[in-house]
């Protein structure tokens, strides 16, 4: 069913690929048009990946799928959705951070093995996939894609020759290390798995006659589902016979949910691990105003990523919130263009200054994060050229100083401006009149989860697992 009309050169250096993704799964045997539910869910998760989209449907163990490069609405049409019939379906949106992107690397991955067909969608990154892949290849296993998710699929296929699917997944989790939120369909089951640290999110929703799994709860309302709960760290949920079974496979491992989900990645209307993302961002703005007050005439946001924190900053500081930048909603994320030249141009494509509103004013500009420093520098220049008297930047997260190996696109330390420069230097480089970042403690307080349950590695280098001896070339290259 997968209609791949392009020619592919399958030589992507697999260890250069990093994923930011969204996953969704629906179990609803009595529902017609199940793929359309997944399609709606993927729409709600589009912010998690804009490069490719795919849906796999499962009818009595027979899996059909379609995946293609592009946004959800570009990839699917009525005809394709109609053809994806089944009782269970899973979907995936993906954004890889290199220029080398091929539809073969899109998900869901569908593999055929002795026990039958299995479809898998993965959000996150493994830190030991290369090791495992090398070993499997030494034993004659062949790989069709360059993504680490195929290592997971391959291991499950290997173990399921002699074990049940649940046992095969548990065996697989003993081998893999890193971040994974998985949605799998096999036989008459929909299965969700969250890694032992719970780095990437995954939650469960209830339909009238069925269940939904999703990276984020923001997908539930459009899918007609009620939020039930998060999948726990180290938990596998198996949905079959319209019931949920749970296996806690992960043992005693410290939870380390990704802080950046609250800072940037998740949608504000999602609840991740019991905490609403909007409230976390607004609190971050409030605490930022306490930590870095400044005299100014107006608080503005970098839309949309800084908007909620700017509301909090304005509320706490008493400085009125106003519009200073207008966003073109039809241009994708800044990061969507993987090379630096396009990234620079895309700031102008995406944002324009509302000259009449900022002229002659002292501005506090709020953004959620500074990664490479490209975006803020460009915006400060645009604001000053439009007549802003002063531009003070306040960032509602701490300086990003370390690479993420778990699925967030924080690039090599070489490219992280805060890994190589002091706050004063960055302020000068981006032409701001002052610069203040939220503290790590402030961010944790804003989220409201215990510090020891959050991964703050990109800010302080404290990784929830060993990332130095992975045998993964990419890890060494990055640091
Ligand atoms: P930079 O120009 O690299 O400093 O980019 C910072 C901007 O990119 C901020 O406005 C963020 O909202 C946004 N951003 C931060 N992290 C990511 C990410 N992982 N993927 C896409 N955009 C991001």
- Closest Cα partner for 106 from 118, 125, 83, 122? 122
233 and 113 both lie in a single domain: yes
User: How many other CB atoms sit within 10 Å of the CB of residue 196?
Assistant: 23
Each residue's pLDDT expressed in tens, for the chain with a length of 479 residues: 443 333 334 343 434 445 689 999 999 998 889 999 999 999 999 999 988 999 999 999 999 999 999 999 999 999 999 999 999 999 999 986 543 567 888 899 999 887 789 999 999 999 999 899 999 999 999 998 888 899 999 999 999 988 999 999 999 999 999 999 999 999 999 999 999 999 999 999 999 999 999 999 999 999 999 999 999 999 999 999 999 999 999 888 899 999 999 999 999 999 999 999 999 999 999 999 999 999 999 999 999 999 999 999 999 999 999 999 999 988 765 444 556 666 667 788 889 999 999 999 999 999 999 999 989 999 999 999 999 999 999 999 999 999 999 988 777 888 899 999 999 999 999 999 999 999 999 999 999 999 999 999 999 999 999 987 544 443 333 33
Tell me, yes or no, whether 285 lies in a domain: yes
CA of 375 to the centre of ligand 1 (A): 8
* Cα 324 from Cα 302, distance rounded (Å): 8
298 and 240 both lie in a single domain: no
Pocket test for ligand 1, best of 308, 335, 345, 406 (most atoms within 8 A of CB): 335
Tell me, yes or no, whether 469 lies in a domain: no
pLDDT the model gives residue 343: 61
**Ligand 1 atom closest to 343 (CA):** 2
* Cα 207 from Cα 228, distance rounded (Å): 10
- Closest Cα partner for 63 from 153, 1, 154? 1
CA of 335 to the centre of ligand 1 (A): 7
Q: Identify any residues that bridge with 213 across adjacent strands, giving them in sequence order.
A: 25, 204
350 and 383 both lie in a single domain: yes
- Closest Cα partner for 211 from 201, 195, 198, 226? 226
Helices (H), 355-401: 355-358, 374-385
Number of domains the chain is built from: 2
Tell me, yes or no, whether 8 lies in a domain: yes
Pocket test for ligand 1, best of 266, 375, 397, 399 (most atoms within 8 A of CB): 375
Ligand 1 site, residue 370, Cβ cutoff 6 A: yes
Tell me, yes or no, whether 58 lies in a domain: yes
233 and 320 both lie in a single domain: no
Confirm if 93 and 53 have CB atoms less than 8 A apart: yes
Q: Is 21 a catalytic residue?
A: yes
38 and 173 both lie in a single domain: yes
CA of 376 to the centre of ligand 1 (A): 10
Ligand 1 site, residue 408, Cβ cutoff 6 A: yes
Dihedral angle sign, alpha carbons of residues 108, 406, 100, 468: negative
**Of 227, 253, 279, which residue sits at a domain end?**
253
Q: Enter the DSSP assignment of 389.
A: S
Range of the domain at 210: 2-253
* Cα 318 from Cα 58, distance rounded (Å): 55
CA of 232 to the centre of ligand 1 (A): 28
- Closest Cα partner for 180 from 198, 204, 162? 198
* Cα 421 from Cα 256, distance rounded (Å): 27
Residue 141, CA distances (Å) to 79, 127, 163, 175 in order: 36, 20, 19, 16
Tell me, yes or no, whether 473 lies in a domain: no
Q: Enter the DSSP assignment of 200.
A: S
208 and 281 both lie in a single domain: no
Tell me, yes or no, whether 262 lies in a domain: no
182 and 275 both lie in a single domain: no
CA of 372 to the centre of ligand 1 (A): 8
Query: In the structure encoding, which two tokens stand for residue 313, read together?
Result: 């900053």
Tell me, yes or no, whether 198 lies in a domain: yes
Task: Find the CATH number of the domain harbouring 446.
Answer: 3.40.50.2020
The single residue of 21, 203, 258, 458 carrying the catalytic annotation is: 21
Task: Find the CATH number of the domain harbouring 123.
Answer: 3.60.20.10
247 and 318 both lie in a single domain: no
């Amino acid at each position: 069913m997968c209609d791949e009309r392009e020619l592919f050169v399958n030589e992507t250096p697999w260890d250069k690929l990093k994923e930011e993704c969204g996953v969704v799964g629906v179990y609803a045997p009595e529902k017609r048009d199940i793929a359309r539910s997944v399609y709606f869910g993927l729409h709600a998760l589009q912010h998690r990946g804009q490069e490719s989209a795919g849906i796999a449907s499962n009818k009595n163990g027979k899996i059909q799928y379609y995946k293609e490069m592009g946004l959800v609405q570009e990839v699917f049409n009525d005809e394709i959705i109609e053809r994806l019939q089944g009782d269970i379906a899973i979907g995936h949106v993906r954004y890889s951070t290199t220029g080398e992107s091929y539809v073969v690397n899109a998900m869901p991955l569908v593999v055929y093995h002795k026990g039958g067909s299995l479809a898998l969608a993965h959000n996150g990154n493994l830190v030991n996939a290369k090791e495992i892949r090398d070993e499997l290849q030494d034993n004659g296993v062949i790989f069709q894609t360059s993504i680490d998710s195929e290592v997971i699929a391959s291991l499950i296929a290997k173990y399921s020759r002699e074990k049940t699917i649940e046992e095969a997944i548990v065996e697989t989790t003993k081998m893999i290390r890193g971040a994974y939120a998985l949605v799998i369909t096999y036989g008459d089951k929909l299965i969700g798995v969250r890694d032992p640290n719970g780095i990437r999110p995954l939650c469960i929703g209830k339909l009238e006659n069925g269940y939904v799994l999703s990276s984020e709860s923001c997908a539930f309302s459009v899918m007609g589902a009620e939020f039930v709960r998060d999948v726990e760290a180290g938990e596998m949920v198996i949905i079959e016979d319209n019931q949920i079974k749970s296996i806690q496979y992960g043992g005693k491992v410290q939870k380390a949910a990704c802080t950046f989900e609250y800072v940037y990645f998740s949608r504000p209307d999602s609840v991740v691990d019991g905490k609403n993302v909007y409230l976390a961002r607004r609190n971050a703005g409030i605490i930022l105003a306490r930590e870095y007050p400044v005299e100014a005439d107006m608080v503005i946001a970098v839309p949309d990523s800084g908007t909620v924190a700017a509301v909090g900053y304005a509320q706490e500081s008493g400085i009125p919130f106003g519009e200073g930048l207008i966003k073109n909603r039809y241009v994708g994320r800044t990061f969507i263009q993987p090379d630096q030249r396009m990234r620079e141009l895309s700031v102008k494509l995406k944002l324009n200054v509302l000259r009449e509103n900022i002229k002659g004013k002292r501005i506090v500009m709020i953004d959620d994060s500074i990664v490479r420093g490209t975006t803020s520098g460009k915006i400060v220049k645009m604001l000053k050229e439009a007549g802003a008297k002063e531009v003070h930047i306040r960032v509602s997260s701490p300086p990003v100083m370390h690479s993420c190996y778990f699925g967030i696109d924080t690039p090599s330390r070489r490219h992280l401006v805060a890994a190589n420069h002091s706050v004063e230097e960055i302020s000068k480089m981006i032409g701001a009149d002052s610069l203040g970042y939220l503290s790590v403690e402030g961010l944790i307080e804003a989220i409201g989860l215990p510090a020891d349950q959050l991964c703050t590695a990109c800010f302080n280098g404290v990784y929830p697992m060993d990332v130095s001896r992975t045998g993964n070339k990419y890890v060494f290259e990055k640091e």
